[in-house]
Amino acid sequence: MDAVLVGLAPRAGETALDLYAGAGLFAAALAEAVGPSGTVVAMESDPPAVASAARSLADLPQVSLRGVRVSPGSLRGLAATGADVAVLDPPRAGAGRAVMQALLALGPRAVAYVSCDPASLARDLAVAVAQGYSLVTLRAFDLFPMTAHVECVAILTNTPGGERGTHAPA
């Protein structure tokens, strides 16, 4: 959690996205960071996870939980508000080119990509770099000792050299 929040540096009043939100772990932390004047849009398609997130996030009115599949279409629906920061924690297959392009078209100043598969992470990071984002940090966490599994957190910014910018919705 610290790697994501430190990397994103969400500010009060900002709009944050939590894609592939699961039970709402990142959405809750983002809601605290953006405060009551901010907004967190959490998207998750798995019905049991959405139900769990609804319970977990019920006392955070700044969170808009959407029981939808993360797709280019569901992300295009956010074009009016854009996004200041985003976290995505997709399944092992990764987000994919179309989702990455739709997310980055929203113009977040920082993106935290949490991945359990280095190969799909590398593929999706290549899309982000091609769209003008810079990889600022990449951390690996051995959450499953004595196995080949590793969890990675990549932080991307949309400004040259990784300097923090401000969000200007399209």
Whether residue 168 is contained in a domain is answered as no
Per-residue pLDDT, 163: 45
Q: What is the count of structural domains for the chain?
A: 1
* Contact partners, residue 98, CB within 8 Å, separation at least 6: 71, 72
**Rg (the chain; Cα; Å):** 15
Whether residue 169 is contained in a domain is answered as no
Closest CA to 140 of 122, 160, 164: 122
> Which segments of 54-146 are extended strands (E)?
63-66, 85-88, 110-115, 134-141
Pairing assessment for the beta strands 151-157 and 15-19 based on DSSP bridges: unpaired
pLDDT digits (tens, 9 = 90+) for 101-115: 999 999 999 999 999
In this prediction, the residues of the chain whose per-residue pLDDT falls under 50 are 161-170
Full-model pTM: 0.90
Reduced to 3 states (helix: H, G, I; strand: E, B; else coil), residue 88 is strand
Count of Cβ atoms closer than 10 Å to residue 15 Cβ: 24
Per-residue pLDDT, 36: 97
* Contact partners, residue 122, CB within 8 Å, separation at least 6: none
Whether residue 170 is contained in a domain is answered as no
Per-residue pLDDT, 168: 36
Whether residue 69 is contained in a domain is answered as yes
Closest CA to 160 of 134, 131, 128: 134
Name the CA dihedral angle for 46, 85, 12, 38, rounded to a multiple of 10 degrees: -40
Per-residue pLDDT, 160: 56
Whether residue 164 is contained in a domain is answered as no
Per-residue pLDDT, 7: 97
Q: CATH number for the domain including 103?
A: 3.40.50.150
Whether residue 137 is contained in a domain is answered as yes
Whether residue 86 is contained in a domain is answered as yes
Give the catalytic positions in this structure: 116
Range of the domain at 75: 2-159
Per-residue pLDDT, 22: 97
Whether residue 24 is contained in a domain is answered as yes
